[in-house]
């Protein structure tokens, strides 16, 4: 029976995960590595105690690098977080191979029994057509014996099929979970950069017609660095989490996708949406962001509101992914330059970006 339990899991309750979050941030702040999701993943899995291999390597790494710099954290992540998930995928693949082998063996055995039973029936038929009555009893007994073995083989095959269906369902669920984890941002619940790249390529591969253009929107939280500097990274993460939830709730077209493009920047992919409708969707999202209110959990006092700027660009025939991203980014830059908290269409933006907006601006 295939073991359905992945080795890397996050079974902690909300209360326990909140405790681990606070503890991880405290420990991370005392070391040299950047306070990014990669570093948090390493600390979280170490502190949660669910990845023993990582924890052993973690403690060993601290002997050589007591302040745990970026390179050490990157190595731990590559070797004991990502690699562990890859082993999960390999384990599921091995389970599928074993399942198929068992199915093939059971089917082969039943096929052999069917072939022998067929030969026995032919022998009995031949005897019944002849005149030697003495041979009939022997062939009838042989046929009964082979019939019983055939029935046992069929019963065994039915049991194997039933068990295999259950195992196949478990393996499919594991594959869906692994696939989802690979392309989704754990904090915001939307696609991560890898998922975005895949969906963008798929969108651009589809033909579009006038009035039903494919559209990409980039949405960036205004003054996000100020949020982190003033209120801390925990509240900054709550902002990103709230925006991710808002995007999932508001962008409901089955063909559309939402993603965390990077940092505090999000992307909305709207295949075949058309510019007019796309602008309405993005404006609705941008306006909703400005209504997000973050409160202190202890006092329920409102402590923060944020706004966002957005750039919207249609796909052109033959577009490479980088081309449409650059146009949407130029429109986003124009929105920032013209006062923030607004949406700018690519046609309204300068043809090229002259300067870069500082991170978190």
Among 317, 209, 302, 307, smallest CA distance to 264 is for: 307
Integer CA distances (angstroms), 98 to 6, 126, 155, 171, in order: 17, 42, 21, 12
DSSP-H helix ranges across 184-290: 193-205, 224-231, 233-250, 275-289
Q: What's the full length of the chain, in residues? A: 361
Annotated catalytic residue within 264, 265, 302, 348: 264
Q: Is 265 a catalytic residue?
A: no
At 152, list the tokens: 């046992």
SS3 283: helix
Q: What is the dihedral of CA 340, 343, 349, 353, to 10 degrees?
A: 50
Is the distance from CB of 227 to CB of 289 less than 8 angstroms?
no
What's CA 191's distance to the chain center, in Å? 7
In sequence order, the 6+-apart residues with CB closer than 8 A to the CB of 79 are 57
In sequence order, the 6+-apart residues with CB closer than 8 A to the CB of 32 are 67, 68, 69, 70
Among 54, 116, 49, 62, smallest CA distance to 81 is for: 54
CA distance 326 to 315: 11
Taking CA 271 as the corner, what is the angle to CA 268 and CA 273, rounded to the nearest 5 degrees?
90
CA distance 151 to 349: 75
Is the distance from CB of 145 to CB of 157 less than 8 angstroms?
no
Is the distance from CB of 275 to CB of 342 less than 8 angstroms?
no
Which positions are catalytic? 264
């Amino acid at each position: 029976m295939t073991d359905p339990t992945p080795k890397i899991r996050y079974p902690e309750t909300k209360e326990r995960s909140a405790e681990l979050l606070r503890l991880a941030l405290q420990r991370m702040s005392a070391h040299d590595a950047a306070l990014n999701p990669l570093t948090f993943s390493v600390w979280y899995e170490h502190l949660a105690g669910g990845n023993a291999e990582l924890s052993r390597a973690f403690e060993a790494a601290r002997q050589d690098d007591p302040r745990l710099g970026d390179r050490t954290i990157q190595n731990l992540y590559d070797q004991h977080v990502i690699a562990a998930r890859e082993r999960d995928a390999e384990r599921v693949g091995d389970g599928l191979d074993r399942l198929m082998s068992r199915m093939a063996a059971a089917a082969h055995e039943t096929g052999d029994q069917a072939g022998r039973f067929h030969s026995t029936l032919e022998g009995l038929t031949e005897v019944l057509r002849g005149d030697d009555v003495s041979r009939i009893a022997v062939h009838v007994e042989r046929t009964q014996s082979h019939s019983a073995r055939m029935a046992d083989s069929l019963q065994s095959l039915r049991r194997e099929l039933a068990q295999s269906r259950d195992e196949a369902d478990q393996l499919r669920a594991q594959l869906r979970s692994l696939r989802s984890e690979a392309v989704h941002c754990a904090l915001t619940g939307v696609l991560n950069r890898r998922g975005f790249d895949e969906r963008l390529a798929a969108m651009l591969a589809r033909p579009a017609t006038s009035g039903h253009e494919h559209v990409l929107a980039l949405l960036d939280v205004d003054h996000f660095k100020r949020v982190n500097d003033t209120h801390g990274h925990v509240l900054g993460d709550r902002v990103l989490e709230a925006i991710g939830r808002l995007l999932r709730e508001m962008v409901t077209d089955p063909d559309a996708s939402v993603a965390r493009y990077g940092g505090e920047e999000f992307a909305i992919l709207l295949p075949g949406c058309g510019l007019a409708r796309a602008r309405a969707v993005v404006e609705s999202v941008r306006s909703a962001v400005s209504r997000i209110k973050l409160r202190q959990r202890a006092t329920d006092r409102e402590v923060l509101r944020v706004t966002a700027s957005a750039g919207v660009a249609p796909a052109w025939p033959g577009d490479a992914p980088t081309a449409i991203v650059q146009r949407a980014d130029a429109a986003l830059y124009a929105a920032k330059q013209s006062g923030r908290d607004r949406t700018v269409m690519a046609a309204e933006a300068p043809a090229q970006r002259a300067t870069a907006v500082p991170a978190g601006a």
